[in-house]
Chain A
Amino acid sequence: MINLENIQVVFGKGTPLQKQALNGVSLTIEEGAFVTVIGSNGAGKSTLLGVLAGDVLPGGGRVTIGKTDVTRKGTAARAGLVARVFQDPLAGSCGALSIEENLALAARRGESRRLTPALGPKRREHFRERIAELNLGLENRMRDRMDLLSGGQRQAVSLVMATLAGSEVLLLDEHTAALDPGMAEFIMNLTQKIVSERKLTTLMVTHSMRQALDFGHRTIMLHGGEIVLDVAGDSRKTLQVEDLIAMFRRIRGQTLDDDALLIG
């Protein structure tokens, strides 16, 4: 379970560029829930994810992941609780390391790292099996450097990496935004499969309203650092992309210049 209590985040405090990125956000996500997050640029989506990941430490409020109060814990200190896939396919893995070395790194997320060989025969075989499940043929390229892979392949491996070690929450940061439509669909289906198989508590930030409604059990919309919409269950099932856009317009009190960007 994840619990955010009255989270306050202000960037550039006391400067002319001061910005209230999150303003009293409270949110509880039940264990095993799959929540999608939408909002325009600057709405606070990335900040919300940063607060959960530990990249952003809030100025006020309390963050609980599982049973642990992580409000003051940095990224590395809470990594055992948080698995993550970044928007940039290059950000989530080490290009200079091989596929299997990246997996070995991720398999010990949040655990102590000793002088034991990172890639014994047993671990190698385990990683190979997990990569073979992707059906991308990567199981025969385990010793290839990660930067030889395409963006989509790297995101697929990143998803596997996120599930090698246990976690209380999986954070997906627009993880299909940088991919071509075909690959984005593949990664989304893979995400769906992994999340439901492993019953992962998941928070997915997305630019695509279609994605936000098609996946998960609950959708929240952020605007101006506040949660302005929170739908789940039957009311969400009947919700259409057009309804979301209408809501968006009402909230912003203005017409949107670029609907295509939001429908995407």
Chain B
Amino acid sequence: MSQIAFWGAVELGLVYAFVAVGVFLAFRVLDFPDLTVDGSFPLGAAVTAVLIIAGVNPWLAATVAMVAGATAGIVTALLNVRFKILNLLASILTMIALFSVNLRVMGKPNVALINADTMLSPFYGLGLRDFYVRPLFVGVLVLIAVVLVWRFLESDAGLAMRATGANARMARAQGVDTSRQIYTGMAISNALVAFGGALFAQTNGFADVTSGVGTIVVGLAAVIIGETLLGARGILLALVGCVLGSILYRVAIQVALSTDTLGLQASDLNFVTAVLVTVALILPRLRRGGAA
């Protein structure tokens, strides 16, 4: 594998670290199986791409993308909390609707960002090769996001959210408005995912309506790989695990695809991912003796 391919994989892993952290918030903290991310990731990309082409500052564009993602999360939460639709189904409904929304936002299935100013533009040409600049830049943003989410989850407000996912009845008895926690958590989760989409559009130079397919599985893969590596020992390690898992996942895929003897091609990606996640899910059970 070439150096460019390796750093490209790291970069993609860091972009998807935002997805992993978002998925961690929904699945692990809130215990809310949320498939909205398959729609909010391309939503973030679409909003950013369209705004940047319209001449909007790329940082502002990414912020708007986060608001759009948060809104998508709130819609899913609304369907579940207010209208009592099963959480998984509620998120599928939002995800399906977002496919149309994303097409409307872009006006076409694919928007290219050739030669447009992005968040990364000021950092190119400072002496560092481009394939270093991108992962470095995204890495710093990931670091900031991880620290913020970590501090939040260890605050009084964050404890209330964790209690909502862990034991909603107890949380209510402690005065926690569990409905509000689900709204807030889903908003933050999908805002992070949409920001991942915004970065994806800017580092890859395009937004595509189909780029969201399988986002949830990739995010979940990262979370599970992280848990397998670092175990369940506190919030910070769990978040670091999400990031490491996301990078490792991308590097593993890159290795698998660039190893000729395996005979894999890019279109086998989804299958490889599904197998990887399945193995990661089954392994802990096998270790416990299979009876669980």
* Contacts from A to B (Cβ < 8 Å): 53, 74-77, 79-80, 82, 84, 86, 91-97, 101, 104-106, 108-111, 113-119
B159: chain A residues at CB < 8 Å are 97, 101, 104-105, 113, 118
Given the known A-B contacts A76-B178, A114-B155, are A95 and B172 also in contact in the complex, defined by CB atoms under 8 Å?
A: no
A109/B174 in contact, CB under 8 A: yes
Neighbour of A116 across the interface among B156, B176, B177, CB < 8 A: B156
Q: Bound complex: CA of A92 vs CA of B159, how far in Å?
A: 15
Q: How many B residues touch A, CB cutoff 8 Å?
A: 23
B175: chain A residues at CB < 8 Å are 76-77, 79-80, 108-111
B176/A113 in contact, CB under 8 A: yes
B173/A84 in contact, CB under 8 A: yes
Q: Bound complex: CA of A108 vs CA of B152, how far in Å?
A: 16
Q: Is B170 interfacial (CB-CB < 8 Å)?
A: yes
B residues 160-180 touching A (CB-CB < 8 Å):
160, 162-163, 166-167, 169-178
Closest to A101 in B: B159
Kindly provide the distance from the CB of A32 to the nearest chain B CB, expressed in whole angstroms.
22
Q: Bound complex: CA of A104 vs CA of B155, how far in Å?
A: 10
A116: chain B residues at CB < 8 Å are 155-156
Given the known A-B contacts A94-B166, A96-B166, A113-B159, are A118 and B173 also in contact in the complex, defined by CB atoms under 8 Å?
A: no
Interface of B, secondary structure class, is helix
A79: chain B residues at CB < 8 Å are 172-176
Q: Bound complex: CA of A92 vs CA of B170, how far in Å?
A: 5
Kindly provide the distance from the CB of A205 to the nearest chain B CB, expressed in whole angstroms.
15
Q: Bound complex: CA of A93 vs CA of B167, how far in Å?
A: 7
Closest to A104 in B: B159
Kindly provide the distance from the CB of A261 to the nearest chain B CB, expressed in whole angstroms.
27
Q: Bound complex: CA of A197 vs CA of B152, how far in Å?
A: 36
A94: chain B residues at CB < 8 Å are 162-163, 166-167, 170-171
B155/A115 in contact, CB under 8 A: yes
Q: Bound complex: CA of A158 vs CA of B162, how far in Å?
A: 18
Closest to B173 in A: A84
A93: chain B residues at CB < 8 Å are 167, 170
Q: Bound complex: CA of A108 vs CA of B174, how far in Å?
A: 8
Contact with A along B133-152 (1 / 0, CB 8 A): 00000000000000000011
A-B contacts counted at CB < 8 A amount to 86
Q: Is B157 interfacial (CB-CB < 8 Å)?
A: yes
Q: Is B158 interfacial (CB-CB < 8 Å)?
A: yes
A77: chain B residues at CB < 8 Å are 175
28 residue pairs A–B, Cβ–Cβ below 8 Å = A53-B173, A74-B172, A76-B176, A76-B177, A79-B173, A79-B176, A84-B173, A91-B170, A92-B170, A92-B173, A94-B162, A94-B166, A94-B170, A96-B162, A97-B163, A101-B162, A104-B156, A105-B159, A105-B160, A105-B163, A109-B173, A113-B155, A115-B151, A115-B156, A115-B157, A116-B155, A117-B155, A118-B156
Q: Bound complex: CA of A25 vs CA of B188, how far in Å?
A: 45
B163: chain A residues at CB < 8 Å are 94, 97, 105
Q: Is B154 interfacial (CB-CB < 8 Å)?
A: yes
Kindly provide the distance from the CB of B88 to the nearest chain A CB, expressed in whole angstroms.
21
B156/A108 in contact, CB under 8 A: yes
B156: chain A residues at CB < 8 Å are 104, 108, 113-116, 118
B151/A117 in contact, CB under 8 A: yes
Q: Bound complex: CA of A86 vs CA of B167, how far in Å?
A: 13
Q: Bound complex: CA of A62 vs CA of B63, how far in Å?
A: 49
Q: Bound complex: CA of A92 vs CA of B152, how far in Å?
A: 23
Kindly provide the distance from the CB of B242 to the nearest chain A CB, expressed in whole angstroms.
17
Q: Bound complex: CA of A241 vs CA of B123, how far in Å?
A: 82
B152/A91 in contact, CB under 8 A: no
Kindly provide the distance from the CB of A56 to the nearest chain B CB, expressed in whole angstroms.
13
Neighbour of B167 across the interface among A80, A91, A106, A118, CB < 8 A: A91
Closest to B160 in A: A113
B169: chain A residues at CB < 8 Å are 91
Q: Bound complex: CA of A116 vs CA of B156, how far in Å?
A: 6
B166: chain A residues at CB < 8 Å are 94-97
15 further A-B contacts with Cβ under 8 Å, apart from A84-B173, A96-B162, A105-B159, are A75-B173, A76-B172, A76-B175, A76-B176, A79-B173, A80-B175, A94-B166, A94-B167, A96-B166, A97-B162, A110-B175, A113-B156, A113-B160, A115-B155, A119-B154
Q: Bound complex: CA of A69 vs CA of B94, how far in Å?
A: 40
B171: chain A residues at CB < 8 Å are 76, 94, 105
